[in-house]
Structure 1
Amino acid sequence: MLRPPPGLWPNLVAAQIFGAHTGVGKTIVSALLCRTLSETHPSYAVHYLKPVSTGPEAEADDRHICRFAGKRTQSKCLFQFSLPVSPHVAARLDGNVPSAESLIGLVSAEFSKYAKEKNAVAVVETAGGVLSPGPSAESQADLYRPLRLPVILVADHRLGGIGTSLSAYESLRIRGYDVDAVVIFKNEENGGILGNHEYLSDFFRKEVKDNFFVLNQPPAPVLPVEEDQKNVETYYERAVRDKKLGPLATLLVENHKSRIEKLGSLVVAADKAIWHPFTQHQGRSTKDILTIDSAYGDFFQTLRPETSLETSTNPLLQPAFDGSASWWTQGLGHGNPKFSLAAAYAAGRYGHVMFAGAVHEPAVALADMLLAESKNPRLSRVFYTDNGSTGTEVAMKMALRASAARYRWDSRSDDILAIGLKGSYHGDTIGAMDMSEPSTFNEKVEWYRGRGFWFDFPQVQMRNGAWTIEPPTGMESEFGPPQTFGTLQEIFDGSRIGEKYRLYIRDVLTKLVRDGKKLGALILEPVILGAGGMVFADPLFQRTLVDVIRKEPEIFNTYPSSGAPSDSNAWAGLPVVSDEVFTGLYRLGHWSASSLIGVDPDIVVNAKLLTGGVLPLCTTTASESIFEAFLDDDKSSALLHGHSYTAHAVGCTVAITALKEMKGLEASEGWEAYRLEWNPGLSDKDVVSPSPRAVCAKASSRIWSMWSQDFVSQLSYKTSVDSVWALGSVLVIKLRDVHGQGYTSNAAAGLQKHLLNGQAGESWSIHSRVLGNVLYLMTSMQSSPIVLKAISFAVLEALD
């Protein structure tokens, strides 16, 4: 789905009729409902819409509506296929297979026409059952999900109908539909002994309260046709007179008004009760709060700003591209039914079961997958936590314990420090904050101490169409002037100053140790430093930093008798921790971000994309030599860390599903067009062995972005843009900021607001987050090239 169309207008009441099975009487219910609405709400124009119908035109459902739903009901069918078979077969044999996007677009276009009337109601009838395929073979529950219309479910009154009805209801709910009412016909065969309506009444009254309606069976067909039509007309007249669906007609109108009122009240309620993250509430207006009704694919459905909830003829909901990938977690689209089903299965099988001293299948399966797919021979153990911040804290606990044990430090009296990069940030809990230098995030956190040393480093960026590696201000003597490259590929192949990096890093580390500093671990965000400002580090600098630590362990070893590890996969010098919470699991186009700098870390932290944006879960994966540092007869020497929902089975199951999906995208060459654009003519024969200068040639052969090179280049020439870069699904635009305020800068706020206000002449917008003067955008890992092209155009237009 390119962009979910709006499904909510102030003056248009809409409902979708789904059937538990084919032949359950959806058209009878639709006709009776339309006829009832005409009687009970005479000020409303009544519309019946059948998007897809199969079978002879003379027997088409919309014709039945025309004849029996009353003169005030207008009916329309979008696609009528002549063969009486499933829509996906009928459409294929007819040679006219409308795409899901085009079909939903046509439905939305009809709604736009209806909404121009003072008051209108639309009854949309599906074909077959809830999971019956549409013309393009998608199940109807998935096909119509972008609209997310309120549902009236017609239950199955026939033998076996209880099961199909309950299954249909669950299928709708698991996809995020609101089922407002259930309708069923009495089964009068064999004396009515089936009694489906009695059983289902007990069930559904707990789900839809009093909105469970039982109808008498329509008359059996007879000949001649005239007599049959007279019998059917009498049936409808009696049902309307007896007000069989009168309460349902009123319910639809009242629920519509209630939904709009609730949407409009959310921001006021939030302003009173919610403490939002990363938000200064002083002076904040309710206009600054975005109301999200639902989400589908790459888009939120948001309440359109500054729109009258009562009188507007425009849709109230507006698709907004989820430009932060919902804080970096979204990878495979909102409302993905595969994740819903995976979560439901695990919840049904396990719920949540405690993990200390226990195990379950999803936890083992996910651990095995992470270890196998990382292609890192050092890693052997997976520790589960709930989010990236706690995951990095666990990683540092692991690393510092290993260093203290090898170098015989007393952790009770010795201050053991971390090494990292300036601007790095590893989470908001106290321990994670202490791994980062002083910044806006932690300067007013009372327990923050900042236990480490942070290297300044050269950065990668594009300016005026040229890729550059630029040294930190004031460090030109150490690293030389900026270096220019023709392609991003060349930067990953290695810059020309690797030896300068090595000497500089070695001198700094040696001096720190001579000054008495106890350095316990190196922690890196490989390639991209996320929350600290979306900074692109020179891959060679990070690789060289790891090389110096591992190849010159004597820098740190003040106890020669401890010796070097005999196992080549054991940590050397210092444990190397890779914080891939943001950058890992394909966010940069590759399973492991560390592989892009040619490094096999001793500890890796993964989160964000791990569950495809559905549930919180984090893994900290470590080497055997790190694990062994905690082995002791004393219980207090164990890794005493955990939480109640450690390795929760629902999260592990969803994570397995998400990782398989992303691996499937890679294997199916779904990203090949992007790779070829960024690496024209590159093939496997171009791969060479890595060296200190060629950081990781095999990985660099796959350096690519979903954002086009031409678009990135155009951005780099804009007068308001300081620099830009793109990698994997991430695009970063650094705006010029004459005040140099960093995170507290408002330089990007104007662009952010412009994008959120929507595109000229378009009915959609772009939601984004900013980090000071940096605005970043992220796609999911299966975003449509058409959507990306539209976003690129909108960003360029906004900058103009």
Structure 2
Amino acid sequence: MSLLFKHLRVHQVFGANTDVGKTILTTALVRASAAQRDKVFYLKPVSTGPPQDADDAHVTSHMAKWKDRVQTHCLFRFQEPVSPHLAVKRAGASHSIPDDDTLANTIAAYVRRAASQCGPAHMYIETAGGVQSPTLSGVLQADLYRRLFLPAILVGDSKLGGISTTISAYESLLLRGYDVDAILLFEDDYYRNFEYLHDYFKERNVDVFTTQPPPPKLAAAAENFAATEKYYADITSSDHHRGVTAALEHLDTIHNQRISYLGSMATRARDTIWWPFVQHGHVKTDHDVNVIHSAYSDFFSVYNPSHRANHAANNDSSTANPSPSLLNPQYDGSASWWTQALGHAHPSLTLAAARVSGRYGHVMFPQATHAPALQLAETLVHDGPGRGWASKAFFSDDGSTGMEVAIKMALRFYTKAIEPGLPVEAWKQLGILGLKGSYHGDTIGTMDACEEGVYTCEWHNAKGYWFEPPTVSVQDGQATIALPSSFSVNTLLSPANYGFDSLGSIYDVESRLETPLAKVYRDHLTSKLKALHDAGGPRLAALVLEPLVMGAGGMIFVDPLFQRVMVEVVKAGAPGISKGLPVIFDEVFVGLYRLGMESTAPLLGVKPDISVHAKILTGGLLPLAITLASQPIFEAFLGDSKASALLHGHSYTAHPIGCEVANETLSIIRNTVSSDSWIEARKKWQADADRVSSVFSLWDPSFVKALSRLPQVKEVMTLGTVLALKISDGDSGYVSMSAQATFQSLKQLNDDPNAQSVAPGGAPYNVHYRTLGDIAYFMTSLNTSPGVIRSMEERIWSALEDNTP
């Protein structure tokens, strides 16, 4: 991840193309730095070609005056003077080839080692070829080095066509989030690219620095060296206001500004921001604010709280052991509120957003269409979670509004198709049938569809009835179903907890339909509904479920058999329930493989009339929601009057950027769920990919069982990417602080020197996590590497060991 030191300014030097003078200008920067600093580092991660012609050799040869100050180094060297990916192929078995992570981690380790050994210093890391040149593995440089996310210097192209290549290279870096601190290039008097580029980038607040080109290469080696040496002396001693020395001053200024800005963010945020789901009375100091500098893969890069108070103290240039990086990796333990599917800053999603932004921006959608929206709708209806039952897709902006739409659809269907003679004055009193612990969002309509609870507000008006559900968990190593106290359990089924030989057997719903427990569920549902009806309870117009897991309510894993029976009872009709009541599946959290399956409907064995999808839909990049509906639901809004249409929408309905990102996300997910890591996870859980009832988790089954046996863990549960633990504590519910306190040590860096970090760049990392009272949960992306998950398992285990009673 990002590395930022107060005393060591580090820049990565990219070239707009090959042969643009990248090494010459980097050498000039190194010399200019050496005249000002006690130490300067030059690193060439990958070099191709004979050693005597290598870039690091050139830098070294022109540093005789400062040989004690300048340290040059090359990490991986190949003899063939070709692109690194081709040099690897030609080297064959004679070379041990590092993978992308190893290359990035080796660079980061070099930077950290240099930072620990120097006072005020500069470092330049020179890439190979152009911005988009392939690295050893074939991955583009801009993508591989993104995991390091160092500030960039771009060497522009002064030759014919160089305006285009320079701007294209800059935009390639910009699309990946890089900070391009400066552009350097030669002053070619014929093409004069520098004039145009200076004006072009001035409008974009990027400084361009220029210097004279090097002299022509001379045939005699000694004469050529002398001429080159004189050239470097001239351009690094010049006081030209746009030259190398000016660039050096600018880079130092930007470096200091970056540190100052990060240091001020926490205070400024506390002064101006009102955070969601945060009790500001607990945000007492700047240390309580998580300042996120950037994000990549499963990790944030955060401003290290331990350095906020002591920057001034560490400003002593004579210090022998300067501070570590002001930034450290932090595992995104909640998948950024359950949105992350493919990791942060995924380049394919960024390019998809840019592609459609450049084509459309946003366009008006009612009675119109565009390719991204049409493709997404067809995919979700015909080839995705709506396959076999949905006929229409309605676009909105997030999960809560998607559920608002779903409830509107269901209630209209009820008044048109289920009870068409119902007086209009009774429509506003229609209620929702659901489960205790439900949460469907924070808009008023979705709050009204849940019982009163911690998420509701002063003007909330709960409309409906909510059953307390049986739950699934692993307790003391055994898959278990627990019945709530509200159930009247007959003597055949006593006690209230039921053990199973595996989670798979619990989720094999079809095989459980004729069991005694299924009958208990049916009897319980019908008797409660009858009692509600006899007592004059609300008129129930729709069943709304979070299938399998109720997320915000406390990661409540509901017995799938109970939800299956619930749908069947509602569809068949029961006391106080009209036959054919519409069923809504809120799959905002659980859908699109968050639990290891595209949709929960096949596992439950019943199809909804309406379902809602968001969060993973766009890979965590931007908001978008889709409400899928069956044809009968759609037809309830058909008519001659506009008043009978679905009059719901917002200005950015089906915004093309969100739709295209969703299309790209779904395409990548299709490959991800058939990857080797998913196949291996299924094997560990003995799950059959061809059976809809065959469940599994990316978390290791042995780890899950071991957790469930710890005395401080009441129960644990996992499906797909989700791991949830209930802490054994006297306090329970959302307001409990037990889970937060138990995992407090995760906020500390894993700075054990023997621990191998899995964070990008190989740095020690800590964990950002959120709790739901006595429930702690952790989540991965769909493509989180097994190595990262195993590392997180070790961190979780250590945190629990630290809290052993």
Please give the TM-score of this superposition, normalised by the length of structure 1: 0.92
What 5-or-longer segments of structure 1 have no aligned partner? 558-571, 685-697
- How far, CA to CA, are the matches of 2:6 and 2:693 in structure 1? 52
CA distance in 1, matches of 2:707, 2:423: 53
- Please name the residue that 1:567 is paired with: none
Paired with 2:708 and 2:561, the residues of 1 have a C-alpha distance of 23
DSSP 3-state at the match of 2:300: strand
Q: Decide whether the 8 Å contact of 1:338 with 1:657 is kept in 2.
A: yes
Look up the match of 2:317: none
* % identical aligned pairs: 43
Q: CA deviation at 1:328?
A: 0.4
2:42 pairs, out of 28, 48, 57, with: 48
Q: Match for residue 602 of structure 1?
A: 609
Q: Secondary structure at the match of 1:412?
A: helix
Map of 2:772 onto structure 1: 771
Shift in Å at residue 432 of structure 1?
0.5
Q: Is the 1:395–1:605 Cα contact (8 Å) retained in structure 2? A: yes
Deviations 1:219-258 (A, max 9, x none): 1111210011111011111111214211111122221121
Q: Corresponding residue for 1:545? A: 566
Amino acid corresponding to residue 364 of structure 1 in structure 2:
L
Name which of 482, 487, 504 aligns with 2:502.
487
Larger displacement relative to structure 2 (353-362 or 478-487): 478-487
Conserved in 1, the CA contact under 8 Å of 2:449 and 2:464? yes
For residue 649 of structure 2, what is the amino acid of its counterpart? Answer: G
Query: In the alignment, is residue 526 of structure 1 matched against residue 547 of structure 2?
Result: yes
1:470 alignment partner in structure 2? 482
* Structure 2 residue 509 is matched with structure 1 residue 506: no
Determine if contact 2:548/2:558 at 8 Å carries over to the other structure.
yes
Is residue 83 of structure 1 aligned with residue 94 of structure 2? no
Question: Residue by residue, what CA displacement relative to the aligned partner does 1:507-558 show, whole Å, maximum 9, x if unpaired?
Answer: 223443444431100000000001011000000000010111123478634x
CA–CA distance in structure 2, aligned partners of residues 35 and 581 of structure 1: 56
Aligned to 1:689: none
SS of match in other structure, 1:453: strand
Q: Name the counterpart of 1:687.
A: none
Task: Name the aligned partner's letter for residue 543 of structure 2.
Answer: L
Alignment map for 1:772-787 (pairs within 5 Å):
772-787=773-788
Q: Among 439, 450, 459, which residue is 1:447 paired with?
A: 459
CA distance in 1, matches of 2:348, 2:628: 26
Confirm or deny that 1:222 pairs with 2:215.
Answer: no
CA distance in 2, matches of 1:553, 1:381: 29
Aligned residues: 757
Larger displacement relative to structure 2 (498-507 or 257-266): 498-507
Tell me the residue number matched to 1:759. Answer: 750
Q: 1:354 aligns to what SS in structure 2?
A: coil
Asked whether the equivalents of residues 530 and 574 of structure 2 are also in contact (C-alpha less than 8 Å), the reply is no
CA RMSD of aligned residues (A): 1.6
1:697-708 to structure 2, matched below 5 A, reads: 698-701=691-694, 703-708=695-700
Q: Decide which of 390, 415, 423 is 2:401's aligned counterpart.
A: 390
Report the alpha carbon displacement of residue 669 of structure 1 after superposing the two structures with TM.
5.0
The normalised TM-score by structure 2 is 0.92
| Residue 47 of structure 2 is aligned to residue 34 of structure 1 | no
1:403-433 CA distance string (max 9 Å, x none): 1112022343341110000111100111110
1:410 aligns with 2:420: no
Structure 2 CA distance, aligned partners of 1:440 and 1:183? Answer: 56
Matched, 1:719 2:721: no
Q: CA deviation at 1:679?
A: 1.4
**1:314 counterpart = 2:324:** yes
Aligned to 1:158: 159
Q: Distance in 2 between matches of 1:647 and 1:784?
A: 32
Deviation (angstroms), 1:666: 2.2
Structure 2: distance between partners of 1:322 and 1:595 = 30
2:324 is equivalent to residue 325 of structure 1: no
CA distance in 2, matches of 1:172, 1:78: 23
* Alpha-carbon separation, structure 2, partners of 1:493 and 1:80: 56
Aligned twin of 1:201 = 198
Q: Distance in 1 between matches of 2:311 and 2:369?
A: 52
Aligned counterparts of 2:237 and 2:649: Cα–Cα separation in 1:
64
C-alpha separation in 2, matches of 1:384 and 1:65: 57
Q: Which residue of 2 aligns with 1:434?
A: 448
How far, CA to CA, are the matches of 2:380 and 2:444 in structure 1? Answer: 28
SS at match of 1:738: coil
Kindly provide the amino acid, as one letter, of the partner of residue 406 in structure 2. Answer: A
| Counterpart check, 1:143 vs 2:144 | yes
Would the aligned equivalents of 1:376 and 1:600 in 2 still touch at CA under 8 Å? no
Q: 1:389 to 1:398 in 2, by over 3 A?
A: same
Counterpart residue identity of residue 252, structure 2:
V
Letter in 1 for 2:522: R
Is the 1:589–1:704 contact (alpha carbons within 8 Å) kept by the matching residues of 2? yes
Paired letter, 2:70: T
Separation in 1, partners of 2:488, 2:469: 11
8 Å contact from structure 1 (residues 179, 208) kept in 2 = no
Letter paired with 2:423? D
3-state SS of paired residue (1:723) = strand
Q: Give the conservation status (yes or no) of the 8 Å contact 2:540–2:576.
A: no
Distance in 2, Cα, partners of 1:575 & 1:354: 31
716 and 667 in structure 1: CA distance in 2 versus 1, 3 angstrom threshold: closer
Segment drifting more, 281-290 vs 104-113:
281-290
Contact 2:209 2:246 in 1 (8 A): no
- 1:441 deviates by 1.1
Gaps of 5+ in 2: 315-321, 756-763
Aligned position for 2:112? 112
| 1:709 paired to 2:701 | yes
2:210–2:244: 8 Å Cα contact kept in structure 1?
no
AA in 1 matched with 2:612: V
